[in-house]
Amino acid sequence: MDRVMANSVVTRAFCLTTGTARSRIHFFPSAGTTAGHYPVVCEVTVFGKGIERRSVQLDGGRLNQPDGIRLEDAFPALVNETSGICGIEVGLSSPQGRINLLSSRLVVEVVSPHYTLSYGAARFSIAGEKPAESDASAVEARLRPQPIGVSMYDDKCTPSLVIVNPTKDLARPEFRHIVRGEEAPLHLGTVAPESVVEFPLEDTLTKSGVRRQTLWGESIVEKMWSEASALDASVECYLLLRDPETRQPFSVCAI
């Protein structure tokens, strides 16, 4: 079996853009147990509804050396261009062909006068074109874990599903959940090419979910899942928790 080259990797996440919120991204190029400070190039791309897709390349990165940028410094036009949610794609690559960057990490931080949100992005995967199905090792290396999540609604949190679609195709996220003991499709919408959509789950949960008493009060907790093959490997799914009263986000979990 041919060895899959993983010296060029990519992950996708999102940030919240409002008049007062500012975003930073922090990346850590890592090659598992490989020591040394080989050069690593980082390319950051932003996209979203009403946002022109654009990229910046950050030179000077080194393996095992964390670094970060303010998104508004890298993309000054972002401040005036959008209000809502935008997609981020971060690619890391090393000219050293034998370095496997799959264990690299990305942290997204959103800071506003009212809240601070930081979360770990989905794991990096191999960048580049979709491999041929005959190339079993490359296909296996690109397999995503099956998205399995929990949506949780109580007096402290209300959940949303955030779908990041960096592709040029329309994405139709096919999630399933349980309604009255039976498996049923979770009705979400579509996600336009190169955009990010937040699907609030509060209505679905309060209509069909079972209320239960917990130590923190009355709560609805429901599972949801998708077949790994039902989503393009480039499409990332995140659970976002907001405060039900202020609607401020406080937790994000990649699923």
Partner 1 sequence: MLENSVVSHFWVAAPPFCSSTILVSSTALESATSRILAQCAVYDLAGALVRDFEVEFPANEVGVLELEPFLTGLKTQSGLAHGHVVIRSSEGTRHFCRQQVGEHTDLISSPKLFKSREMAFVPLLLGAGRAHLLTFVNTDSSAGQVVVRLLYSNRSPEFTIDLPAKGSRVVSLEDELLSTFDDHSWRKGVMQGYVRISPRVQSSVLFQVIEQYPGEGENQVKYRTLLSW
Which residues contribute to the site for partner 1 (CB under 8 A)?
A: 24, 26, 28, 30, 32-33, 35, 64-66, 68, 103, 105, 107, 109, 116, 118-120, 146, 148-150, 152, 156-157, 176, 178, 181-183, 210, 212, 214-216, 221-225, 239, 241, 250-251, 253-255
Question: What minimum distance in Å lies between the beta carbon of 219 and partner 1?
Answer: 8
- Residue 184's Cα: distance from chain center in Å? 25
Looking at the Cβ atoms of 197 and 255, the one nearer to partner 1 is 255
Smaller CB separation from partner 1, 53 or 176: 176
Q: Write down the least CB distance from residue 94 to partner 1, Å.
A: 16
23 exposure class (CB count in 10 Å sphere: 0-12, 13-18, 19+):
buried
DSSP conformation letters of 86-139: EEEEEEEE-S-TT--GGG-EEEEEEE-SS-EEEEEPPPPEE-SSPPPTT-HHHH
Q: Give the integer Cα–Cα distance in Å for 119 and 254.
A: 9
Provide, rounded to whole angstroms, the least separation between the CB of residue 129 and partner 1: 28
CB of 133 to partner 1, least distance (A): 24
Residue 99 beta carbon to partner 1: minimum distance, rounded to whole angstroms? 14
Residue 94, both tokens: 């090393």
CB atoms within 10 A of CB 5: 14
Q: What is the largest CA-CA distance in the chain?
A: 55
Listing DSSP states for 2-14 in one string gives PPPP-SEEEEEEE
Closest C-alpha among 228, 212, 230 to residue 220:
212
User: Shortest distance, CB of residue 118 to partner 1, whole angstroms?
Assistant: 6
Q: Measured from the CB atom, is 83 or 116 closer to partner 1? A: 116
Nearer to partner 1, 104 or 195 (CB): 104
* Residue (39 or 131) nearer to partner 1, CB: 39
Q: What are phi and psi of 191, to 5 degrees?
A: -120, 120
Q: Which two tokens stand for residue 11?
A: 């992950």
Q: In the complex with partner 1, which residue's Cβ is closer, 114 or 130?
A: 114
Nearer to partner 1, 79 or 210 (CB): 210
Cα→Cα distances 80→51, 72, 77, 124, Å:
10, 10, 6, 30
In whole angstroms, the minimum distance from the beta carbon of 61 to partner 1 comes to 13
